[in-house]
Structure 1
Amino acid sequence: SGCFTTITFFCLAFNALNSGSPSVFCFLYYICIKDINEDRKDITDINKGLNLREGDIMVPNQRSAILGNQYQWNIPVPFELSVNLSMNYKGVILRALEQFRLKSCIDFKARTAEDISYISVESLEGCWSYVGHRFLGAQTLSIGNGCGEKAFIEHEFLHALGFFHEQSRYDRDDYVTINFENIITGHLIYFESLTTTQDTPYDYFSVMHLDKNAFSNGNGPTIITKHPEFQDVIGQRLDMSEYDVIELNKLYKCNSSISFLDHCSFDDESLCQMSVCSAADYGWQRVKSVSGISVTDHTNLGKEKNVSFFMHFSTKGRNEGDAARMESKTMTPKRDCKVQCLQFYYYHSGNESDQLNIWIREYQNEADNRGTLRLMDQITEPPGNYWKLHHVPLNANKTFQVVFEARKGAGNSSGGFSLDDINISETECPHTWQIRDFEKVLKNSVSGTWMNSPLYYSSEGYRFLALLMVNQNYLSVYVGLVSGAYDDQLQWPCPWRQITFQILDQNPHIQKRMSSEKSYTTDPTLVSSYGRNDWDNPRNNGTRVVIGNETVYVGIFWGYQYAIMNEDLTKREFIKGGDIILLFTMQDISGLRQKYSLPCPKVTLKNLKTSFDAAVKQGPCATR
């Protein structure tokens, strides 16, 4: 396919005196941008004419909200991916299963010869599933054309795990009104209310709720929420909701997560079992505000009643080298892949020479009461005076703690380091693009305004760049390859790397987020009409541009014109403190051509040098 546009800008932003209002200088270039064709249909529209119960349920269908144990799967649930699935769909399916592992107690495994019953994920017509574990042998779940979205896949797997649609609950008439006169003839049976509630509140945010216009005959919506503010919420296709997960865990009588390790927003005086080391008037302090600094808690940032807490270490009036520690509880990796991701928000209001060092203290065995320290990351930069999201890749093999060590640098300081909303999970870390004052950008930009991300390297060494276009009603996101330092060591054309971007729901708790996510996969066989391979080395098929002080070549940019509708940005915490955050990953999924699982990801560690504070050497803050 051809380029839908060949004009864009690369912009450099200079923040004069940290005023918060960057000056932007842009350069015009002619590059190729291609849109991934998408119909933007919901499941019921994709399945139109298939005559499936409630739009996506394959019979047999004996009604029961909490299915008997004979209809539940043994955990982990075996599955296989059909050869007729596209490579991109295979990758998205694995990402959806990772959401189950992060949010719930449900795990999945690639089917082996010993597994008599399993879910066979195939690309048939439409998106559909049986409800519950119905058969010995292969039980089909279809992810057909148009169904390869994370939330669609979650929806169908929740059916397979035993769930009907949310509006099928017997108490639904207390929360929604069904407009039977607006339903297509012959589809009234799709709106029966027979399933139970599992003692959970009615959930307008459920990924299992049908859209307001489901099975409409064109005369208006079929479902009206009794709380009008949720009318445009029902039918969301972002992610499983908090109550979807609670209900799932109740059905399978478990509540632990496969990949989640810890979260702390410091709202509880226990500090989430974290411990601090330093004199009471000197070290990390749990506070609501800091004198002389405009910092407030991040957890409820922008909300009217912001009474939450955060942690602060002041470098004001301290001596160079003064330090304090805050240590997490001990955690033990559970997964085969010893890969973890630490994420947190920090607010730097001190001197640019102040340091925030992130260590892990790893214990060899139960008798080891001191542990071994490794420095994983270091933040030392000019103060930003805003909450900034940060990710740190970890590779702990045994029981470990995360240690936050703040240290006073040279020079005067009027503030320090603040921390909030810490999450630790056994997942791979993404790249982060935090766009400051995006609310103002939305309000003041003309339609068609382009913005470009920083340059990123994947764990293998591929370099890439993201473009975001602000339009009147929607945001567009595209990603393209850029020439880099490792190009002569890489495979070209770039084979089967899945590029995923998330528009982050900035809920403080990683398990409660419902982010907007889209993926596409590089295809080494894709040749453009002018005879060049779309995923070749950008030095061969790209455009020469200047980014920063560097001359580089940028390849073809692929992405989604309708990445998210602007009206949807207010439905979750996509904009917080005025900022929007995009996360990016580039994953090698070439192994899915032969298997149903992927090798462990690589953890790229930084080469950091810093002296050990004397107190750090003494051992953990709290004895084991």
Structure 2
Amino acid sequence: MGRRAVAAAAVTVVWCAATVMCRVLLTDTPAARTPRDAHAWHSNSLSGGRREDRQEGQRGDHLAPYQADNTPDDLYESVGEAEAERTLLREWTQDPEVTPGLFQGDIVITSYDLLSMSTRVAINWNKYPERRWANATVPFVISELYGTSERKMIMLAFHSLDFLTCIKFVPWDQVTKDYLLIWPMEKPKGCWSFVGKRGGQQVVSLQAPDEHSKRCFISLGKVIHELLHALGMFHEQARPDRDDHIDIITENIIPDYIGNFKKQSADNATFPFSYDYNSVMHYGSNFFSYNLNKPTIIPKVKGAKIGQRIMISKLDCLKLNELYGCLDNPFDKEKYTAMCTYLGY
């Protein structure tokens, strides 16, 4: 059976497991009904929310002046300053993970030291335990601005991760302090998320379909990509060992966004997983290209494909299970390893 056939089968299995729950939860799932903090995103803008969110969300405030290896990065301060290059980024042909113009395209940085939180693939819980979702449980609210088909895809993404890991997404009870709000933000539009739990209400923005494309709902993997950020995972191509596996074609990158191709620090402990071309967290071959016919990333392995957004990969699945302690118990380790191996992309 080919890889795409296996991926299709995996999606089908998860869909079958989730269908009944989706039908119930689509009617019972809490929509954005102005909870106790009036949803700080009432302005539908990352820069127009509460003062603390505005301070964290503006381009100049949330980008670190230094890389994780303490190398100054002047490019970060100039991201988005050139109108012509912002226009290139906003073109409807660009991937919606790129168009928000945030750190690495779709990540909101909330402090200067976020880069130092990373291991090879995710936040280091030993240093930042508060960024981990307690008891591997993630309460959520889905905006009522989404249509039925978008809500179904969001629920399928939740149940896919429920099924393949010990992490559980549960409807928000309007009491729990920390929860995800899935919301189609207008400023910036696109697909984006914070990394790990930031505390309180936390937006994951998924741009709804428009006249140009299905945007963040073009595939299940798009939604899963942003949820994995919210769970604490970074982009695959930012690993410190990435130069052994890919070539970055700098001359094809929109100049003000070269900083988005920097590597994470190699100082922290790493996960025992190999580089994953199939990762749903890997940039596509033409991300941030000034000409989408010209690649910005080329795999060193001939014929390798990158940037798939079909489904969580086998290694993504194992990484996530490792990250949340789902493999600590021998029985669970055997169960989730088998599920990741057979149902991951």
Fold agreement, TM-score > 0.5: yes
1:72 equivalenced with 2:164 (yes/no) = no
1:131 equivalenced with 2:195 (yes/no) = yes
Do 2:237 and 2:282's aligned partners in 1 also have CA atoms closer than 8 Å? yes
Q: Give the structure 2 partner of residue 369 of structure 1.
A: none
Q: Give the structure 2 partner of residue 216 of structure 1.
A: 289
- The 1-side partners of 2:327 and 2:152 are apart by 26
Q: Give the structure 2 partner of residue 179 of structure 1.
A: 249
Structure 1 residues 104 and 126, CA gap change in structure 2 (3 angstroms): same
What is the RMSD of the two structures over their aligned residues, measured on CA atoms? 2.8
- The 1-side partners of 2:275 and 2:265 are apart by 12
Q: Give the structure 2 partner of residue 512 of structure 1.
A: 341
SS at match of 1:55: coil
Counterpart of 2:206, as a letter, is I
Deviation at 1:510, TM superposition (A): 5.1
Given the alignment, which residue of 140, 144, 147 partners 2:203? 140
Do 2:327 and 2:333's aligned partners in 1 also have CA atoms closer than 8 Å? no
Given the alignment, which residue of 86, 92, 98 partners 2:153? 92
- Single out whichever of 52-61 and 104-113 deviates more from structure 2: 52-61
Do 2:99 and 2:190's aligned partners in 1 also have CA atoms closer than 8 Å? no
Q: Give the structure 2 partner of residue 54 of structure 1.
A: 104
Structure 1 residues 256 and 102, CA gap change in structure 2 (3 angstroms): farther
Structure 1 residues 201 and 72, CA gap change in structure 2 (3 angstroms): same
- The 2-side partners of 1:141 and 1:208 are apart by 16
Q: Give the structure 1 partner of residue 57 of structure 2.
A: none
Q: How high is the TM-score relative to the length of structure 1?
A: 0.34
Given the alignment, which residue of 276, 283, 288 partners 1:203? 276
1:436-487 residue CA offsets vs partner (Å, 9 max, x unmatched) = xxxxxxxxxxxxxxxxxxxxxxxxxxxxxxxxxxxxxxxxxxxxxxxxxxxx
Sequence identity percentage:
34
1:166-197 residue CA offsets vs partner (Å, 9 max, x unmatched) = 00001101111111111111001100101564
More helix by share: 2
1:514-564 residue CA offsets vs partner (Å, 9 max, x unmatched) = 68xxxxxxxxxxxxxxxxxxxxxxxxxxxxxxxxxxxxxxxxxxxxxxxxx
Structure 2 gap ranges (5+): 1-90, 209-214
Counterpart of 1:228, as a letter, is K
Do 2:102 and 2:108's aligned partners in 1 also have CA atoms closer than 8 Å? yes
For residues 318-467 of structure 1, what are the structure 2 equivalents within 5 Å?
Answer: none
SS at match of 1:187: helix
Q: Give the structure 2 partner of residue 120 of structure 1.
A: 181
- The 1-side partners of 2:195 and 2:100 are apart by 17
Deviation at 1:119, TM superposition (A): 0.5
Do 1:79 and 1:109's aligned partners in 2 also have CA atoms closer than 8 Å? yes
Structure 1 residues 42 and 178, CA gap change in structure 2 (3 angstroms): farther
Q: Give the structure 2 partner of residue 189 of structure 1.
A: 259
- The 2-side partners of 1:101 and 1:46 are apart by 25
Structure with more contact order per residue of length (Cα contacts < 8 Å, sep ≥ 6): 2
- The 2-side partners of 1:115 and 1:72 are apart by 15
Do 1:79 and 1:121's aligned partners in 2 also have CA atoms closer than 8 Å? yes
Counterpart of 2:290, as a letter, is N
Counterpart of 1:60, as a letter, is T
Counterpart of 2:154, as a letter, is I
Given the alignment, which residue of 218, 224, 240 partners 2:312? 240
Counterpart of 1:235, as a letter, is G
- The 1-side partners of 2:326 and 2:234 are apart by 20
For residues 30-45 of structure 1, what are the structure 2 equivalents within 5 Å?
Answer: 45=95
Structure 1 residues 212 and 138, CA gap change in structure 2 (3 angstroms): same
Do 1:177 and 1:224's aligned partners in 2 also have CA atoms closer than 8 Å? yes
Deviation at 1:50, TM superposition (A): 2.7
- The 2-side partners of 1:73 and 1:43 are apart by 35
Given the alignment, which residue of 278, 286, 300 partners 1:226? 300
- The 2-side partners of 1:47 and 1:157 are apart by 13
SS at match of 2:308: coil
Q: Give the structure 2 partner of residue 153 of structure 1.
A: 223
Aligned length in residues: 227
- The 2-side partners of 1:261 and 1:177 are apart by 34
SS at match of 2:325: coil
- The 1-side partners of 2:182 and 2:151 are apart by 9
Counterpart of 1:69, as a letter, is P
1:286-316 residue CA offsets vs partner (Å, 9 max, x unmatched) = xxxxxxxxxxxxxxxxxxxxxxxxxxxxxxx
Do 2:235 and 2:282's aligned partners in 1 also have CA atoms closer than 8 Å? yes
- The 1-side partners of 2:96 and 2:310 are apart by 17
Structure 1 residues 224 and 71, CA gap change in structure 2 (3 angstroms): same
Counterpart of 2:234, as a letter, is F
Structure 1 gap ranges (5+): 1-40, 264-424, 426-508, 516-571, 573-624
For residues 219-618 of structure 1, what are the structure 2 equivalents within 5 Å?
Answer: 220-230=294-304, 233-255=305-327, 511-513=340-342
Do 2:99 and 2:105's aligned partners in 1 also have CA atoms closer than 8 Å? no
1:209-260 residue CA offsets vs partner (Å, 9 max, x unmatched) = 0111111122721111111121xx2101111111111111222222289xx9
SS at match of 1:109: strand
Deviation at 1:84, TM superposition (A): 1.1
SS at match of 2:180: strand
Counterpart of 1:138, as a letter, is Q
Which has more radius of gyration? 1
Do 1:104 and 1:255's aligned partners in 2 also have CA atoms closer than 8 Å? no
Counterpart of 1:241, as a letter, is S
More strand by share: 1
Do 1:239 and 1:514's aligned partners in 2 also have CA atoms closer than 8 Å? no
Deviation at 1:46, TM superposition (A): 2.1
Structure 1 residues 252 and 262, CA gap change in structure 2 (3 angstroms): closer
Q: How high is the TM-score relative to the length of structure 2?
A: 0.60
- The 2-side partners of 1:127 and 1:204 are apart by 21
Counterpart of 1:240, as a letter, is I
Deviation at 1:55, TM superposition (A): 1.3
- The 2-side partners of 1:97 and 1:50 are apart by 23
